[in-house]
């Protein structure tokens, strides 16, 4: 058995980022930049006003001075003349400052009558002026290669005059649930069988992680069905659920080994979810998740999401960990890293309090849905008492 960190490193190392594609800026949100995007213009393009008011020569702007209003420069309609001594031009937020002017009198500090302006507050040269290039200059990198594009970055790409973005293609992740006992929701359920939840839960997670899920038909527990399921695959990653152990009916490994699967590892020192397989089939990386829905989802958080990140050109780091205070004692742990389903409540000092559910049976999907976090327990961790700090993975912020 290998550790969680070793398994993740080996999985991530096998992922090759997808090729770039050009998408319209409106479709760029959530995608990962496949190149640096440099500003195609300077912003602001010239010195502009940050306020509504008047521009003038600052030397003319003493308290009580009177100037003649010689023009108006609404945003988008620059005043083409030069502001001379004793003159003022009406301007607005975003207006280009005309030649000659170096001071702004904001409208609240002014009075005007018959195109004569009175200064009610002394003007300071340069104040309320946004300098050309204050936000960015043409050529500045606005979005670096390998960063996920959020709503703010979409705005910045727009401001830098990019109608298109060069991003990594969404990784296609094929999801193959196996088992004689499972049926998709609404379909006839075999005797003693259950409804399959893994493929669609994982498809949602793949979507949340920026991928494009492809749900394959459920494969029965026999060689022909498994072989048929992997014919003609077109994906960047194959994820199977169930059949990944070594029981009599765990056919995934032996059948696909005969079909060319090179297995890297298939056992991780963790709970829930020991029988996790990783290999390569026809050049396609393949993760074999446990069939148990709780195990499958926890393993997906630990291994599938990092793989998906890497496929998109991100580093493929593990889930974000944070700190919590234990709300109740924990027993010593055995040799397998544990991931205890837990509730969080706000703590007094800004650090949440995490209390593990008393039942940790990996058959209880409903408890996983009710969990706010996983408490991380290292192999051989000693008993821990209420009040001690623990590391957690929050489940609420990752589309789970």
Pick from 232, 247, 283, 382: which binds a copy of itself (CB under 8 A)? 247
Q: How many binding residues for a copy of itself (CB under 8 A)?
A: 100
Minimal distance in Å, beta carbon 1 to a copy of itself?
A: 14
Pick from 7, 205, 256, 299: which binds a copy of itself (CB under 8 A)? 205
d(CA 102, CA 104): 7
Pick from 1, 35, 38, 46: which binds a copy of itself (CB under 8 A)? 46
Select from 265-273, 308-316, 346-354, 377-385 the region that touches a copy of itself (CB under 8 A): 346-354
Give the position of tokens 């409106």: 26
Select from 13-21, 54-62, 166-174, 361-369 the region that touches a copy of itself (CB under 8 A): 361-369
Give 335: exposed, middle or buried? Use CB within 10 Å, 0-12, 13-18, 19+: exposed
| 210 touches a copy of itself (CB under 8 A) | no
Minimal distance in Å, beta carbon 157 to a copy of itself?
A: 7
| 110 touches a copy of itself (CB under 8 A) | no
Nearest 5°: the CA angle 34, 38, 39 is: 140
Pick from 113, 114, 349, 358: which binds a copy of itself (CB under 8 A)? 349
Per-position b or e across 246-265, b if 16+ CB within 10 A of its CB: eeeebbbbebbeeeebeebe
Q: In three state form, how does the secondary structure of 27-75 look?
A: HCCCCEECCCEECCCCECCCCEECCCEEEECHHHCCCCCEEEEEEEECC
d(CA 132, CA 241): 57
Q: Which of residues 295-324 bind a copy of itself (CB under 8 A)?
A: 297, 322-324
Report how far Cα 256 is from the mean position of its chain's Cα atoms: 33
| 293 touches a copy of itself (CB under 8 A) | yes
Minimal distance in Å, beta carbon 105 to a copy of itself?
A: 15
Identify the DSSP state of 223.
H
d(CA 370, CA 380): 27
Cβ atoms within 10 Å of 73's Cβ, excluding its own: 24
d(CA 141, CA 162): 12
Select from 113-121, 202-210, 231-239, 257-265 the region that touches a copy of itself (CB under 8 A): 202-210
Task: CB nearer to a copy of itself: give 18 or 198.
Answer: 198
Task: CB nearer to a copy of itself: give 165 or 261.
Answer: 165
| 215 touches a copy of itself (CB under 8 A) | yes
| 132 touches a copy of itself (CB under 8 A) | no
Select from 12-20, 132-140, 232-240, 378-386 the region that touches a copy of itself (CB under 8 A): 132-140
Task: CB nearer to a copy of itself: give 90 or 281.
Answer: 90
Task: CB nearer to a copy of itself: give 281 or 373.
Answer: 373
Select from 92-100, 254-262, 264-272, 278-286 the region that touches a copy of itself (CB under 8 A): 92-100
Task: CB nearer to a copy of itself: give 232 or 346.
Answer: 346
Q: Which of residues 152-191 bind a copy of itself (CB under 8 A)?
A: 152-164, 179-182, 184-186, 189-191
d(CA 92, CA 49): 7
- Pick from 212, 194, 122, 243: which is nearest to 363 by CA? 194
Q: What are phi and psi of 318, to 5 degrees?
A: -70, 175
d(CA 179, CA 245): 13
Task: CB nearer to a copy of itself: give 48 or 281.
Answer: 48
Q: Which CA distances in Å does 141 have to 79, 148, 150, 225, 359?
A: 32, 14, 16, 51, 51
| 361 touches a copy of itself (CB under 8 A) | yes
| 335 touches a copy of itself (CB under 8 A) | no
């Amino acid at each position: 058995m290998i550790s969680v960190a070793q398994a993740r490193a080996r999985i991530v190392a096998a992922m090759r980022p997808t090729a770039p594609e050009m998408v319209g800026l409106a479709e760029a949100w959530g995608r990962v930049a496949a190149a640096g995007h440099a500003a195609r213009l300077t912003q602001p393009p010239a010195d502009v006003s940050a306020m509504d008011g008047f521009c003038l020569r600052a030397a003319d702007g003493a308290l009580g001075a009177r100037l003649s209003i010689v023009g108006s420069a609404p945003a988008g309609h620059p005043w083409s003349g030069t502001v001379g001594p004793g003159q003022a031009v009406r301007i607005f937020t975003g207006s280009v400052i005309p030649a000659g002017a170096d001071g702004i009198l904001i409208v609240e500090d002014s009075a005007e009558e018959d195109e004569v302006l009175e200064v009610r507050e002394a003007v300071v040269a340069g104040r309320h002026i946004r300098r050309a290039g204050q936000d960015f200059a043409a050529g500045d990198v606005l979005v670096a290669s390998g960063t996920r594009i959020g709503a703010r970055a979409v705005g910045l790409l727009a401001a830098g005059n990019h109608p298109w973005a060069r991003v990594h293609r969404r990784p296609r992740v094929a999801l193959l649930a196996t088992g004689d006992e499972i049926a998709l929701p609404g379909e006839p359920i075999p005797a003693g069988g259950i409804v399959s939840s893994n493929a669609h839960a994982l498809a949602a997670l793949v979507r949340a992680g920026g991928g494009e899920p492809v749900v394959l038909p459920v494969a029965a527990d026999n060689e022909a069905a498994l072989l048929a399921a992997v014919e003609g695959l077109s994906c960047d990653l194959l994820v199977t659920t169930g059949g990944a152990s070594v029981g009599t009916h765990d056919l995934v490994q032996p059948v696909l080994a005969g079909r060319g699967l090179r297995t890297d590892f298939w056992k991780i020192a963790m709970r829930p979810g020991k029988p996790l397989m990783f290999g390569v089939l026809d050049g396609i990386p393949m993760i074999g998740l446990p069939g148990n829905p709780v195990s499958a989802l926890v393993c997906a958080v630990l291994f599938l999401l990092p793989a998906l990140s890497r496929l998109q050109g991100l580093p493929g780091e593990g889930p974000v960990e944070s700190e919590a205070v234990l709300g109740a004692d924990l027993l010593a742990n055995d040799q397998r890293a544990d991931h205890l389903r837990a509730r969080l409540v706000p703590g007094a000092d800004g650090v949440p309090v995490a209390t593990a559910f008393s039942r940790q049976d990996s058959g209880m999907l409903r408890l996983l849905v009710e969990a706010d976090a996983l408490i991380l327990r290292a192999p051989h961790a000693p008993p821990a008492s209420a009040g001690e700090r623990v590391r957690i993975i929050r489940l609420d912020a990752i589309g789970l």
